[in-house]
Amino acid sequence: MAERRKRVDAVIIGYGWAGAIMAKTLTDAGLSVVALERGPARDTSPDFEYPRIVDELKYGVRGDLWQPLAKETVTVRHGVNDVAAPYRKYGSFVLGNGVGGAGVHWNGQLWRASPEDLRLRSHIEERYGKSAIPHDMTIQDYPVTFEELEPHFDHFEKVCAVSGIAGNLRGAIRPGGNPFEGPRSDEFPTPPLPPIEVARLFERATAELGYKAFPVPSANSSIPYTNPYGVRLGPCNLCGFCERFGCFLYSKASPQTSILPILVDRPNLEVRTGAYVTKILRDSSGKIATGALYIDDSGAEVEQPADLVILSAFQMHNVRLLLLSGIGTPYDPATSEGLVGKNYAYQMVAQTAAYFSEDVEINPFIGAGAAGQRTIDEFNSDHFDHSGLGFIGGSQIYAGATGGRPIDQMMLPPDVPHWGAGWKAGIRKHYRHSAPLGTMGTVMSYRDRYLSLDPTYKDAHGLPLLRITFDWHDNEYKMAAYSASKMEEIVRVMKPEKHATILMRPGMPYDVRIYQSTHTTGGAIIGSNPTNSVINRYSQSWDVSNLFICGASAFPQNIGYNPTGLLAALAYFSAAKIGDSYLKSPGPLVPA
Amino acid sequence: MRWKTGILTVGIVGVVGLLAAMGTSYVGDRYAGEKHLAGPPATPELVARGAYLARLGDCAACHSIPGKPPYSGGLRMVTPIGAIYTTNITPDPTYGIGRFSLADFDRALRFGVANGHTLYPAMPFTSFYNTTPEDVAALYAYFQQGVPAAVVSNRPSDIPFPLSMRWPLTYWRWLFAPKPTPFQPLAAADAEVARGAYFVEGLGHCGECHTPRAVTMQLKATTPKDGSAYLSGAVIESYFAPSLRNGGTGTLGDWSVEELAQFLKSGASSKGIAFGSMSDVIIHSTQYMSDADALAAATYLKSIRNDDAGKAGPFLYDPAVHTALKNGDASKPGALAYLDNCAACHRPDGLGYERVFPRLAGNGVVQAGDPISLISIILNGASTPRTKGAPAQFAMPSFATRLSDQDVTDLVNFIRSSWGNHASSTTARDVARVRKATRPNG
Amino acid sequence: MVKVPSIDRRTLLLGAAPMATAVISGLAGCSPRSGDAAPAYSPTFFSADEWAFVRTAVSRLIPSEGPGPGGIEAGVPEFIDRQMEMPYGHGAYFYMAGPFLTDVPPTLGYQLRYNPREIYRLGIAAANDEARKAQGKTFAELPADAQDGFLQGMEKNAIQFATVPAPVFFSQLLANTKEGYFADPLYGGNRGMAAWKWIGFPGARADFTDWIDQAGRAYPYGPVAISGARG
C-alpha cells in the first residue's frame, strides 16, 4: 500500500527545463508545488566543478550525467512488423537525468521555429499543392502561431542570456543576423562571441556564395548580464567541454544557472529527488488526475496527491508515462486509431569533415556547444523553393565543432587507417587542422513512425520499456542529400586539402550506434482538436483536463533546429494561461 | 618560624584579596546598568523595527543554529580554555530571556552583564554599547513579542573549573569595554554620516572583525577618534578581514559610496565580492538594510580618512602580464599555474567577470598587507552570498589537492604582482601554516 | 593580569560554512602528479596470459615504433585492466537484461549478453585458440607482421570465434585502447600526457578566453591534467 503524502496544489513530474519553468510560474501564483525528479539533485557546485568536470572519459564517453540505461532504456525497431531490440548502449541520442535534466548537458543552441514551421501542412499545401505531402506523411499545423509565441521565445532567450544578432527586428531585416527568422520584438540579450577559426572560414566561403551566415544563437552569455529573474550568469570561454558536460563557469544556460537560484528559498516549493514516477493517478471517472505515484530512493511506493499535474519528464518519458497510466488511447499504426505515441520524429543530420593543410590552425579544442559557430538558414524549413526537388523540409548548415576531445571528436580522413603506425601518424597530422561542418535537418512525421510500450523488455521496476518504431523515409534521404550537396559546395570554397561527408543514404537504415542528436520529438502532439492531438494549444490534455504535458513530445513533426526554444515557449505560453484562466476556473481551456 | 608566618601571611592576604576581588566583581556586576527602565508599549511597529534592528545586529549569526528554533542559542564558540555555547534569547521564561525586564535586556546588550555576571565578550557588547534607548526598546519588544518562545536549555560551557570562574571578566569589562553611552552624533556631523556611524560603530559591530585587538583581546580602537587602528583590518580565523579605511592599496580607497552600499546589500560590487564569514554577514544581516541605511553606512565608511589619504594614487592597471599570456609567454613564475587554475574565471587580464567572479587586479583583499585571505581562498575555495537582490550563488572550488605549497606560493606571488598589483610576497612556510590550520585533515 | 579567553570565530562558520561548498576534489591520489616513468604495473583482472595478449595487441594497435608515444609507454594496458575493475567493466552502464536477440540488424546496436570483462575473457581465449590452430602459437608469440594480420582478420570477421564474434572483441579492444591513450592520466593511461602532447590537445585546461579573438593563431600552451600535473 503506497504511503500517501499531504495533498499539494500541483505536482510536477520531471525537473528539467520545462519543469523548472512550470515550478517558477506556479509558485509565483502562490500554489504549493512538489517537483518529483527521479534522478539526483545536481548543482554547478559541487557537481560540475572544475577540474573534475573536464573529464572526457567520465562524462563524454561513459556518460555519468545521463540516465542509467541499466535501470531503464528504450527499445528500437525500424518497421511495424519488426521485433524491437533494447538500446543497450548509448549511441544515437543521450537521455538526461537528475535536476536540470538534459538542460545541464545540452549544447545551448537556442532557436525559435520559423513562422511557417508552426503551420507546416497549410503552408506546404498553399505553396506546393496538396500532392506535395505524401499520403503517409502525417504532418500537421500547430494550433498556436509564431506571433502568439513570440513574447515567450523572447522571454526565454532573456532568461538564458542568449547571444546572437537579430536578423529580423520587428520586420526590418538586419545585416549579420538570420534573414529568414520570424520577426523579433527585441534584439538578442547579449552579443555573439567571435567566430572560431572554421566558422571564420565558413563566413568567408558563404559570403562568396551569396549566403547570409550568422552566429548560432547561443545560450552562453557573452557579457556580464543579469536575467529577468535577477540571476547573473558567467562567461563562456569556449572551453570545449560543452555537450555531455555541466558548465563549470555558470555560463551555459541550464535550469541551475538561470531559474533555480530564485526557487531555492521558496517555501511553497518542495523538490524531491530520487522519486521515480511510475503512474499518473486518476479518479474513478478517469477524467481527473489525482496525483502521481512514485518509487522513492528506498524502494517504497509513495502517492503524491495534487490538484494539478504537470508532466515534464522529457519527450520520451512523457509518452511512456501516458501509456503506463492508460491516459488516452495508444496509437495503432494498423488502424490509425489512437493518438498517444503518434508522430514520433527525430533529427536528420549530416557532416562534412574538412581536412586543411598544416598551415591552417583550427585549434579544434576551442569551441562551445553553440558560441563561436556560424550557420546559414537558406536551405532550412521552407526558406527556399522546393519545386521539382521531390521533398519538403530542409537543414541549417553550420560550421564549428563543439570541442576537440580526442576520444570522441577526433576526425580523420578515410585514407588514415583505424589503428597502427598510420593511425598514430595521422592523428598528429590532422588533429589541429581538421574541422567539421554539419547539417541539422527537419524530420517529418509518418503513419509508421511512432512510440508504444514494448511487449517484452522491462525496466528495473518491472515496467514495460518504451518502444520506438522509426526509420528514415525517402523525404528525409532526399532532403539530407540536398543539404549535404550545399554543404559540400561551401566546403570546397573553404579549400581544404580533402573532405569527407557522412550522410544517410537510401538503403542505410536508422543506426542507433552512432550519435546523431538528442532531438527526439512527438508522441503527445499538440493540435486543434481531440481527433488530431493529445494536448491542446495550452499543452492541456484533451483527456484529463488537470494534466498539462510539456516538452518536445508536443511537436507534430520536427523542425530543423534544436527544440528547446520552442518547447520552452510552449511551456511559458501554457503557464501564462494556467495563471490567467485555469487556476480561476479549472477545466478544459479549449472546447473539444 | 618566620618563614611559616610569612607563608601564612601571604596565604591569608592572597585569599582575602581573592575574596575581595570576587566580591567586588559580584557587586560590580550586580549593580551594572540601570535598575529600572521604562519602555514604550510593544506595538506591531515597534516589534517590526526591533526585527529590523536584530537583522542589523545579526543576532542570529550567533544565537540561531540550523535545526533548532530561531534564537534558541547553542552555537559552539571555541576559546583557548574551552568551548562556550551561545544562549537562548527567545522569550522562554525558563531558558530564555522571558523574565528579563527592559533594564535587564539593556544591561546585557550594552553593559555586557546578564544573570549577575559579565558576559564573555564573544557577545559584542563592546560594540552594542552605543545603542539608543529607543532602539534598545524596539529590540526588547521584538525579542519578547516577535520571536516564538523556544523551550531549549542552555548548554553550559566546556571550560573546566577553575578557569570557568567569571569574575575576571568584570575587570576586563571595566578596563577595556567602552563606556555604555547611547550614540550622540558630533555636532558638525552630516546626518547621513552620523546614521552610518551609529550603525557601523554600534549594531553592525564591524570593528569586532575589522579592527585589530591588543594582546589583552580588546579592540585597539572603537571609533575614528581612537586613531588609525580603527577598522584597519584584522586576522580572523585564517582570513584577513580587510581594512575599511580609505587610503592606498588594500583599503576601500578605490570604492565609491554606491559600490559599497551595493556590496552590503548584495555581497558583490565591481570592486569585490564577499567571502568567508562576510558572506554570512551579507546573507543574514546587511542584505536586509534599507537602501538609505546601506548608503549611510557606506558614506560613513568613505568619510574615515587616513592622515596619508590622497597620497597614494588610484590603482593603475598594467596590461603587461595579460599581453604576455595572450602571446604565449607564461614564463613569469606562477603564470602557468594561473592559466591552469584561475584564468577561466578570473580571466587572463585579472579583471574577473563583474559581480560573478571578482577581479584580482586592484582588488583590496588581494593586495592587503597580509596575504592570508588569498592563501585561504585558494586552498579552501569560496562561495559568494546568495541574497534576494543577487540570487545566483557562485562557488570557487578548493585547490588544496591540486596545488602544492610551492604552487600556491608562486600563484599568490604572481597574483599580487601582476596587472598593476604591488603587494608583498608570501612563502611556502606561510602557505603550509594556513593549510595546516584550515585543513587539519589534509 | 588574567588573560581573557580569545574567541576563535572559526566556529561562526558552523551553520552556513561558505567553504563547505568547496568539496575536496575526489582525486584520491589516483595518479602521480608528475607524469614521469611509472612503476611496473601488475594486473588485477587479466591473468598472465591475458596480460601478454593485451600488451601485445596494444603494441600493434598503437605501436611504439616511429615518432609519437605507443600504447605501451602510454600505459594503455594498465588503463584497460583498471577499467575492468570499475562498474564499466562489469557492464553497469549498459542494459544487460534479456532476452538477447540474435538476429537483429547491426544498426540496432549491441545485443550480446557479455559485459566488457566477459568480452575480454572470451575474446582473448578465442583469439589464442585460433592463433594456435592456424599458426601453432599464441597471439603474443607470433611475429609482429602476423600479429597485425591477425588483428585485421578479427576486425573484418575473417577469423571466426565460437563465442563472442571477433569484430565485437576487436572493436572493444580498439575503443578501450584509444580511451586509454587519450583519457586523463588519472585513469592509468596517457602517461605523462604524452598522447595529448603528440596531437597538441591542452587536456584539462578548458580556458581559451584569450584565444576567442585570435582565431587562426596556433594555441601555444602544453597540456594540464585534472590533477594539475603539466605535460
Give alpha helix (H) positions in A59-187. 120-128, 146-159
Q: Do B345 and A239 lie within an 8 Å CB cutoff?
A: no
Q: Do A250 and B355 lie within an 8 Å CB cutoff?
A: no
Q: How far is A510 from chain B (nearest CA, A)?
A: 40
Interface predicted TM-score of the whole assembly (ipTM), two decimals = 0.95
Burial of A414 by CB count in 10 Å (0-12 exposed, 13-18 middle, 19+ buried)?
exposed
pLDDT score, position C10: 38
pLDDT digits (tens, 9 = 90+) for B269-284: 999 999 998 999 999 9
Q: How far is B228 from chain C (nearest CA, A)?
A: 23
Q: How far is C81 from chain B (nearest CA, A)?
A: 26
Q: Is the pLDDT of residue B337 over 70?
A: yes
Confidence of residue B236 (pLDDT cuts 50, 70, 90): confident
Angle among Cα A170, A173, A179 to the nearest 5 degrees reads 110
Q: Is the pLDDT of residue B133 over 50?
A: yes
Nearest to A194 among C105, C206, C213 (CB): C213
All residues of chain A having their beta carbon less than 8 Å from the beta carbon of residue C111 are 85-86, 88
Mark whether A519 is an active-site residue: yes
Chain B's closest residue to A222, CA to CA, is B353
Contact between B223 and B126 (Cβ < 8 Å): no
Chain B window 108-127: which residues touch C at a Cβ cutoff of 8 Å?
Answer: 120-122
Which of A140, A19, A16 is CA-nearest to residue A548?
A19
All residues of chain C having their beta carbon less than 8 Å from the beta carbon of residue A422 are none
pLDDT score, position B312: 63
End-to-end CA distance of chain C: 59
* Maximum separation of any 2 CA atoms in chain C, in Å: 95
Q: What is the distance between the alpha carbons of residues A235 and A257, in angstroms, rounded to a whole number?
A: 12
All residues of chain B having their beta carbon less than 8 Å from the beta carbon of residue A232 are 355-356, 390, 392
- Cα A500 to Cα A359, A436, A488, A519, B251: the distances in Å are 20, 9, 9, 24, 60
Contact between C188 and C31 (Cβ < 8 Å): yes
Q: What is the mean pLDDT of residues C14-41?
A: 41
Chain C's closest residue to B62, CA to CA, is C12
Give alpha helix (H) positions in B58-113. 59-63, 102-106
Q: What is the mean pLDDT of residues B356-380?
A: 95
Mean pLDDT value across chain B: 92
Q: What is the distance between the alpha carbons of residues A447 and C227, in angstroms, rounded to a whole number?
A: 53
All residues of chain C having their beta carbon less than 8 Å from the beta carbon of residue B396 are 22
Cα–chain-centroid distance for residue A393?
Answer: 18
Which of C151, C150, C159, C161 is CA-nearest to residue C112?
C161
C-alpha cell at position A210: 551569396
All residues of chain A having their beta carbon less than 8 Å from the beta carbon of residue C26 are 52
Sign for the CA dihedral angle at B213, B215, B216, B221 comes to negative
Note the pTM of the prediction, 2 decimals: 0.93
β-bridge partners, A439: A350, A397
Cell match 505536482: residue?
A11
> B126: part of which helix (H) or strand (E)?
helix B125-128
Q: Is A466 left (phi over 0), alpha (psi -120 to 50) or beta?
A: beta
Q: Which residue numbers in chain A have pLDDT < 50?
A: none
β-bridge partners, A426: none
Mutate to test the interface with B, among C21, C23, C205 (most CBs of B within 10 A): C21
Confidence of residue B2 (pLDDT cuts 50, 70, 90): confident
Give alpha helix (H) positions in A404-501. 421-430, 474-494
pLDDT score, position B242: 94
Q: What is the distance between the alpha carbons of residues A236 and A251, in angstroms, rounded to a whole number?
A: 5
Q: What is the mean pLDDT of residues C82-105?
A: 97
Which of A233, A199, A236 is CA-nearest to residue A216?
A199
pLDDT score, position B309: 55
Confidence of residue C38 (pLDDT cuts 50, 70, 90): low
- The Cβ of residue B33 has, within 10 Å, a number of other Cβ atoms equal to 20
Computed over its alpha carbons, how large is the radius of gyration of chain B? 24
Is residue A215 helix, strand or coil? strand
Q: What is the distance between the alpha carbons of residues B434 and B237, in angstroms, rounded to a whole number?
A: 10
pLDDT digits (tens, 9 = 90+) for A452-507: 999 999 999 999 999 999 999 999 999 999 999 999 999 999 999 999 999 999 99
Q: How many helices (H) and strands (E) does chain C have?
A: 6, 0
Q: Is the pLDDT of residue B355 over 80?
A: yes
Which has more pLDDT, B36 or A183? A183
Q: Is the pLDDT of residue B345 over 70?
A: yes
Chain C's closest residue to B437, CA to CA, is C10
Nearest to A88 among C68, C94, C182 (CB): C94
Q: What is the distance between the alpha carbons of residues C122 and C131, in angstroms, rounded to a whole number?
A: 14
Confidence of residue B34 (pLDDT cuts 50, 70, 90): confident
Q: What is the mean pLDDT of residues B357-370?
A: 94
Q: Do A231 and B394 lie within an 8 Å CB cutoff?
A: no
* Maximum separation of any 2 CA atoms in chain A, in Å: 72
Phi, psi of B305 (to 5 degrees): -105, 140
Cell match 486543434: residue?
A528
Nearest to A432 among C107, C200, C211 (CB): C200
pLDDT score, position B3: 85
Q: Count Cα atoms within 13 angstroms, Cβ side, for C199.
A: 32
Q: What is the mean pLDDT of residues B151-164?
A: 90
Chain B window 366-385: which residues touch A at a Cβ cutoff of 8 Å?
Answer: 383
Amino acid at site A279: K
Q: What is the distance between the alpha carbons of residues B356 and B391, in angstroms, rounded to a whole number?
A: 11
pLDDT score, position C22: 33
Which of B89, B85, B134, B128 is CA-nearest to residue B109?
B128
All residues of chain C having their beta carbon less than 8 Å from the beta carbon of residue B399 are 228
pLDDT score, position C15: 30
Q: How far is C74 from chain B (nearest CA, A)?
A: 22
pLDDT score, position C27: 35
- Cα B185 to Cα B97, B130, B319, C167: the distances in Å are 31, 11, 45, 88
Contact between C71 and C182 (Cβ < 8 Å): no
Cell match 583482472: residue?
C45
Q: Is the pLDDT of residue C26 over 60?
A: no
Q: What is the distance between the alpha carbons of residues B245 and B309, in angstroms, rounded to a whole number?
A: 9
pLDDT score, position C33: 42
Sign for the CA dihedral angle at A419, A420, A426, A428 comes to positive
| Strand extents, DSSP E, A120-204 | 168-169, 172-173
Q: What is the mean pLDDT of residues B157-167?
A: 86
Give me the long-range contacts of A179-183 (CB less than 8 A, separation at least 24).
A179/A212, A179/A377, A180/A114, A180/A377, A180/A378, A180/A380, A180/A381, A180/A383, A181/A112, A181/A114, A181/A377, A182/A112, A182/A113, A182/A114, A182/A115, A182/A146, A182/A150, A183/A150
Cell match 596545488: residue?
B403
